[in-house]
Amino acid sequence: MTIDSHAHLGMDAFDADRDEVITRAEEAGLTGIITIGVTVSDSEKGIGIAGLYDIVYASVGVHPHEVKDLEQDAYERLRILARQKKVVAVGEIGLDFYYEHSPRAVQFRHFADQLDLAVELGLPVIVHDREAHRETLEFLGYRKGRLRGVIHCFSGDLQMAKKCVDMGFVVSIAGPVTYKKSEELQKVAREMPLETFLIETDSPYLSPEPWRGKRNEPAYVIQTARRIAELRGIKAKDVEIATEINARNLFGL
Ligand code: NI
């Protein structure tokens, strides 16, 4: 039993076999998958998928890559979508200075506005941070005590992970923890207390070993749990159970 805290089941990559993908996740022992919105219409699609499957929940939000194209009525639509059944978070939202598909100033504005939307709605946030650690911490720190959430696909160091926890956040560990060169992330996975992290696939991206380079899917999150358990010298089951409880607590499942 465990929960994939971050998958993009709405993406085209799953259009042909979404049913089978979700069945395989159930067979692998998953009890939950959060499907993550990256645009307003993708968020809407995710809610539709969540309506079809017991184990699927949805988040609504606009990814930093996409905020440059945000339409006038986007926030109105997000507010309506966020109140739908099975919506458990606002995300993914954040900052991406690696690709910088949207200008930084636009990313800042919509990260702040969507964080405030989450505060207003009383929902946790799912945060994307790629090469924008300092700025991400500043935006979250400013709202400390009013906001909970997760830094998804965590790519900071141990010190940053501890700062996130101090602000009431958890971090989420994805497939790269299984890659040989991810030493910093392995350190985070080894050292952070069991109650402070989630696991995720970020499907269809970032497959763990031994499927690196292929399409990722929620069932593969078990491989990530296994690797974290190995690093900590504990049983994979215990990582699965702890991260399930952590996800249930954060998202109110
Ligand atoms: Ni994602």
For the stretch 189-243, pLDDT in tens is 999 999 999 999 999 999 999 999 999 999 999 999 999 999 999 999 999 999 9
- Order of strands, sheet of 56-60, starting from the edge strand that comes earlier in the sequence: 2-7, 30-36, 56-60, 87-96, 125-130, 149-151, 169-173, 197-199
Q: What is the mean pLDDT of residues 16-34?
A: 98
Distance 6 CA to ligand 1 centre (A): 6
Distance 22 CA to ligand 1 centre (A): 18
pLDDT beyond 90 at 131: yes
Distance 63 CA to ligand 1 centre (A): 8
Q: Could you tell me what percent of the chain has a pLDDT over 70?
A: 100
0.85 surpassed by pTM: yes
Q: What is the mean pLDDT of residues 122-140?
A: 97
Domains annotated for the chain, with CATH where assigned, are 2-251 (3.20.20.140)
Write down the pLDDT at residue 25: 98
Distance 201 CA to ligand 1 centre (A): 9
Distance 169 CA to ligand 1 centre (A): 17
Question: Among residues 227, 218, 214, which one has the least CA distance to residue 188?
Answer: 227
Write down the pLDDT at residue 72: 85
Write down the pLDDT at residue 69: 85
Q: State which residues have CB under 5 angstroms from ligand 1, the bound ion.
A: 202
Q: What is the mean pLDDT of residues 5-30?
A: 97
